[in-house]
Structure 1
Amino acid sequence: MHVVDTKPFQFDAFVSYAEEDYQLVITTLYLELIRLGFQISLPDKDFIPGISKAEQLLQCIDDSRKVIIVVTENFLVSGWDSYAVQMVVTHAFHNNRQKSIIVIIKDGIPVERMPKDLRYIWWSIISIRWPDDGGNISFWEELSTSLNLN
């Protein structure tokens, strides 16, 4: 028997990113998504000190309709983010929420360099390229539309 959880989500999206990309995520991505009316969960905002990061990661993913993974050069070298990708993918497939993953690709990174867990499910995720100037209107429209998809 398949049980569907009908509880409303607390957030529209949880954003996973490398700690080195904090400024980019906060000053650009987070602020624009908030301006567009989305409720966004971030580790730096929503994780509680003293509780395991892994436990809180799963809770934030569970409380969010979508997960945005910001893939940069920094992200690719971070061991924690590899763990985060594995948790996002496992959670999505375990809960029949494959279309809940949005990958934002920055720094011109080719798909071949993506974490293998993402490459294996590339057919079921939404991928968007971060514009070089950071302010491309079509980027924000595409991201907003992706967040509004069921």
Structure 2
Amino acid sequence: MQLESLQELNVAFNSLADLPGCSTFSSLSVLTLDHNVVSHPSADFFQSCQKIRSLKAGNNPFQCTCELREFIKNIGQVPRGVVEDWPDSYKCDYPESYKGTPLKDFHPSQLSCNTVLLIVTVGATMLLLAVTMTLLCIYLDLPWYLRMMFQWTQTRRRARNLPLEELQRTLQFHAFISYSGHDSAWVKNELVPNLEKEDVRICLHERNFVPGKSIVENIVNCIEKSYKSIFVLSPNFVQSEWCHYELYFAHHNLFHAGSDNLILILLEPIPQNSIPNKYHKLRALMTQRTYLEWPKEKSKRGLFWANIRAAFNMKLTLGTENKDEKT
């Protein structure tokens, strides 16, 4: 049957599942195909039917998937009016999330429709993430900070589970002192006596840490029970991991409590290049905050102690004697 001369074809209200190509209808210019079961019209229909001047293919159950993207794109490239009833009669029937959506509003991304591109993108993202995490682990000691945050969270969770009457307490100390064991002689012979003679109550590891509790929990409890946290900075300090724990928790508590609770005493100069990379918080504090430098000349120490005492000029209503304090 010779159909090369056929110019108009009306097959509406049938059960056709696809747009017929024009390989046997070389002269076809008008095609009516509405109200059929066309779900995935061929993407090369307009290339096959280059003489088409009128296409009526609305009211079909179009499946809005990646296969339909090229057909929709081609509709936008033909002259206006060629596709009749566009866009009102051309709507998605599947999937359910797109049901009723006009085909002109269906725009799947290139990434979602290109498996190779998706795999490459996901792979590149994972590689970049792995490289970033590796660099963080190397230069900032990320595992250390994650471990510290976990321990901090666990300690605060246990604190929330304490009875209400135990939580309703006032501060028990004016200051918690953090220092390296190598600097303990200066702390015990200079710092503590000069503060305690002014009735400043001090929290120290050896006196106030509670046996049976973890070191991290003792650190957190002492910091939270103290009005201020004093850090005795020196090259020995930056070599002590526990000192850095204390600085980390105190700095975290500063933002948590919304108060300025840190006092930095520079006992000995610390070269910036001697501070480990993971102690970037200490670097930042020494750069941004004012610290008190311990003077070697005795004539200057009076002003030093005056500055320290000025930090405790607020009258505190301290709680009753700390039952955990070991004298």
TM-score between both structures, scaled by the size of structure 1: 0.84
Residue 48 of structure 1: CA displacement?
A: 2.1
The 5 Å alignment of 1:67-106 reads 67-97=229-259, 99-106=260-267
SS in structure 2 opposite 1:51? coil
Unaligned runs of 5+ residues in structure 1 are none
Quote the Cα distance in structure 2 between the aligned partners of 1:106 and 1:121.
15
**Corresponding position of 1:119:** 283
Q: Structure with the greater relative contact order (CA < 8 A, sep ≥ 6): 1 or 2?
A: 1
Q: How many residues align?
A: 145
**Corresponding position of 1:38:** 200
**Corresponding position of 2:294:** 130
Q: What letter corresponds to residue 42 of structure 1 in structure 2?
A: L
* Alignment deviations for residues 13-72 of structure 1 (CA, whole Å, 9 cap, x no partner): 100011121121111101110011101111111012332111011001000000000001
Q: CA RMSD in A?
A: 2.6
Quote the Cα distance in structure 1 between the aligned partners of 2:282 and 2:241.
15
Residue 85 of structure 1: CA displacement?
A: 1.0
TM-score between both structures, scaled by the size of structure 2: 0.40
* Between structures 1 and 2, the one with greater strand share: 1
Residue 116 of structure 1: CA displacement?
A: 2.2
Identity %: 28
Alpha carbons of structure 1 residues 141 and 110: separation in structure 2 relative to 1, 3 Å: farther
* Alignment deviations for residues 87-111 of structure 1 (CA, whole Å, 9 cap, x no partner): 11111111112x1100000112357
Alpha carbons of structure 1 residues 94 and 79: separation in structure 2 relative to 1, 3 Å: same
Quote the Cα distance in structure 2 between the aligned partners of 1:139 and 1:74.
21
Alpha carbons of structure 1 residues 12 and 79: separation in structure 2 relative to 1, 3 Å: same
- In the alignment, is residue 57 of structure 1 matched against residue 222 of structure 2? no
Unaligned runs of 5+ residues in structure 2 are 1-166, 316-327
The structure with the largest alpha-carbon Rg is 2
- Pick from 142, 145, 148: which aligns with 2:307? 142
SS in structure 2 opposite 1:92? helix
Alpha carbons of structure 1 residues 61 and 106: separation in structure 2 relative to 1, 3 Å: same
**Corresponding position of 1:11:** 173
* Between structures 1 and 2, the one with greater helix share: 1
